[in-house]
């Protein structure tokens, strides 16, 4: 028995010719009686079958379908490491400005392309919900909606919610009643206290994968690190008592020990890329502008400082801790402006927490502050702004300082976008938009120092300095980030 010679297969580029018998005519007529989806649907179906055959995460399938996303090696390495080694549960702890949002979006898109994520939840500060929705839609083609009502938990498989809204009833119960394929928590350092409502809410969510995004996984002590890691992967750092015994060297829980061993455990759940190693951003140029206070301002500063010192230390056992915290706020405010401190002095002068003689001192200080109509530091800022011809961010800790500066700068003819915690989410978005389009100055409290992407500007003025240096880094990180030239 002989077999006919086998014809070589046609090349991949050869067109396919189909032949039909007359008996097939009726069958074909019935098949094509309604319009088909066309060749594009055929190609998409073939691509879907091809993707379904890819085994493991040896490469990222999501890159070709992204739009407007620059491909950085450190972001691709991070995504692959989370997918391969961490099984979709990781802390993205890159330094400010290196693109944690893009990394999270890339991981989410990869899971979605492979059919592994069909329900996803992003928890973020209220001011960042619309920014997240825009990023996910324009760059990743992910159909996210911002939470507007309780019905959204049932009707929207891709949802962005403010943490402060989601953690409270009736939203809390609805969020925790449904399983989520992937949960992303932005600014995850807000989960540092395991006794807080934030931490307990996220711990109660049913999730397969979870990403925690924070540039500052530790701000105060080692407890915060334990709480974040335990939320993500319970038991990774042992029990709390065992963690303290093995990895914490000081009573204030700020000094680690067995650092190499601890670093190995953290490597299983955390990725941290640093500037100059993962990616080199443009150099920072820092200038200190000296300010000599006026005699009245100097005298008020010294008198407030003296009162804070006297009241804080002489009141041992008498003042509650909350009152002592108020004294600390008073000291910080006098370093910002006389306008910031004036209202606090008025409230303390009426507080029963202080003795009569202390209230008299506070009232005298309030009157001194009210008598000062202008600040030398504001004049120094005005002089600096005249020397630059570009967009400038001005940060202050206090809204009363912001309102004073807003009045001064607008009187000078500047077009100012003001941003503070008292604005609605829509008003905050509008402030960023107008600054991008036609305003020369972005005047903001600390509310604008977290999460916002403002790299279309490059000059930052710290009108006052927070006592926590991480807040200064957050401020600078609004402009010193990927995309800055």
pLDDT in tens, 394-413: 999 999 999 999 999 999 99
What pLDDT score was predicted for residue 425? 84
Residues 339 and 215 in one domain: no
Altogether, the residues listed in the chain come to a count of 485
373 close to 295: Cβ distance less than 8 angstroms: no
How many other C-beta atoms are found inside a 10 Å radius of the C-beta of residue 479? Answer: 24
Q: Is pLDDT of 10 > 60?
A: no
For residue 37, tell me if it sits in a domain.
no
Mean pLDDT value across residues 240-269: 92
Q: Is residue 50, in this structure, part of any structural domain at all?
A: no
What does the pLDDT look like over 376-394, one tens digit per residue?
999 999 999 999 999 999 9
Q: Are residues 68 and 191 in the same domain?
A: yes
Do 269 and 239 lie in a common domain?
Answer: yes
Tell me the CA distances in angstroms from 364 to 160, 325, 369, 425, one per residue in order: 50, 21, 9, 39
pLDDT at 83 over 90: yes
Same-domain pairing of 213 and 106: yes
46 within domain boundaries: no
Residue 399: the pLDDT is 95
CATH number at residue 169: 3.40.50.10810
Domain end point (choices 223, 242, 277): 277
Task: Inform me whether the pLDDT recorded for 139 exceeds 70.
Answer: yes
Same domain? For 217 and 334 the reply is no
Indicate if 310 and 259 belong to the same structural domain.
Answer: no
Question: Does residue 484 fall inside a structural domain?
Answer: no
**271: phi then psi, degrees, rounded to nearest 5:** -120, 130
**Residue 363 and residue 409 in one domain:** no
Q: What is the pLDDT of residue 59?
A: 86
Q: Does residue 26 have a cis peptide bond before it, meaning omega lies within 30 degrees of 0?
A: no
Assigned domain for 33 exists:
no
Average pLDDT value for the chain: 87
The tally of domains found in the chain comes to 3
**CATH code of the domain containing 413:** 3.40.50.300
Residues 146 and 216 in one domain: yes
DSSP codes of every residue in 42-72: HHHHHHHHHHHT--SSSS-SSGGG-SS----
Segments forming the whole domain that contains residue 85 = 63-277
Q: Are residues 247 and 179 in the same domain?
A: yes
Helical spans, DSSP H, in 156-221 = 163-166, 171-176, 197-203
Whether residue 451 sits in one domain with residue 333? no
Closest CA to 176 of 166, 187, 185, 184: 166
* Per-residue pLDDT, 47: 66
Would you say residue 438 has pLDDT above 60? yes
286 located within any domain = no
Q: What is the mean pLDDT of residues 115-134?
A: 94
Last residue of a domain, one of 309, 340, 371: 371
181 lies in the same domain as 320: no
Please indicate, yes or no, whether residues 219 and 239 belong to a single structural domain of this protein. Answer: yes
Lowest mean pLDDT among 126-130, 171-175, 409-413, 444-448: 444-448
Is 150 part of any domain? Answer: yes
CA 359 to chain centre: 41
Whole-angstrom Cα Rg for the chain: 29
Q: Find, among 338, 292, 294, 330, the residue nearest to 309 by Cα.
A: 330
- Looking at residue 484, what is its pLDDT? 53
| Domain membership flag for residue 322 | yes
Which of 277, 308, 331 represents a domain boundary (last residue)? 277
């Amino acid at each position: 028995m002989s077999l006919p010679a086998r014809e070589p297969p046609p090349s991949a580029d050869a067109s396919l010719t189909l032949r039909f018998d007359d008996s097939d005519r009726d069958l074909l007529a019935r098949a094509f009686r309604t319009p088909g989806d066309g060749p594009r649907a055929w190609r998409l179906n073939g691509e879907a079958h091809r993707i379904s055959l890819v085994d493991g995460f040896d490469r990222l399938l999501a890159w070709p379908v992204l739009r407007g996303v620059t491909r950085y090696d450190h972001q691709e390495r991070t995504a692959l490491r989370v997918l391969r080694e961490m099984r979709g549960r990781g802390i993205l702890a890159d330094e400010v400005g290196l693109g944690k949002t893009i990394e999270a979006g890339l991981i989410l898109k990869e899971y979605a392309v492979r059919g592994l994520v069909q329900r996803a939840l992003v928890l973020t500060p209220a001011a960042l919900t619309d920014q997240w929705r825009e990023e996910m839609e324009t760059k990743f083609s992910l159909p996210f909606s911002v939470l507007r009502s309780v019905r959204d938990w049932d009707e929207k498989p891709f949802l962005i919610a403010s943490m402060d809204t989601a953690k409270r009833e009736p939203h809390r119960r609805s969020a925790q009643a449904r399983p989520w394929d992937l949960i992303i928590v932005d600014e995850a350092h807000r989960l540092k206290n395991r006794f807080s409502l934030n931490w307990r809410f996220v711990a109660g969510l049913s999730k397969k994968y979870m990403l925690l995004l924070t540039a500052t996984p530790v701000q105060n002590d080692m407890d915060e690190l334990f709480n974040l890691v335990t939320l993500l992967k319970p038991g990774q750092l042992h029990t709390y008592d065992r963690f303290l015994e093995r990895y914490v060297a000081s009573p204030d829980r700020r000094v680690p020990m067995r650092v190499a061993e601890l670093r190995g455990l953290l490597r299983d759940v955390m990725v941290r890329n640093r500037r100059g190693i993962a990616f080199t951003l443009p150099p920072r140029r820092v200038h200190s502008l000296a300010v000599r206070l006026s005699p009245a301002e100097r005298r008020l500063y010294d008198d407030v400082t003296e009162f804070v010192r006297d009241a804080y230390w002489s009141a041992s056992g008498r003042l509650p801790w909350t009152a002592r915290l108020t004294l600390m706020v008073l000291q910080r405010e006098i370093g910002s402006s006389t306008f910031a401190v004036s209202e606090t002095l008025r409230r303390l002068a009426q507080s029963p927490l202080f003795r009569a003689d202390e209230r008299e001192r506070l009232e005298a200080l309030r009157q001194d502050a009210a008598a000062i109509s202008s600040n030398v530091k504001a004049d120094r800022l005005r002089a600096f702004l005249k020397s630059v011809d570009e967009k400038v961010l001005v940060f202050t800790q206090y809204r009363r300082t912001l309102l004073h500066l807003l009045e001064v700068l607008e009187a000078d003819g500047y077009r100012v976008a003001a941003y503070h915690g008292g604005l609605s989410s829509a008003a905050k978005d509008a402030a960023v938009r107008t600054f991008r389009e036609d305003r020369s100055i972005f005047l903001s409290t600390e509310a604008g120092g977290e999460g916002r992407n403002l790299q279309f500007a490059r000059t930052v003025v710290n009108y006052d300095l927070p006592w926590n240096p991480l807040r200064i880094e957050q401020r600078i990180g609004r402009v010193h980030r990927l995309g800055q030239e």
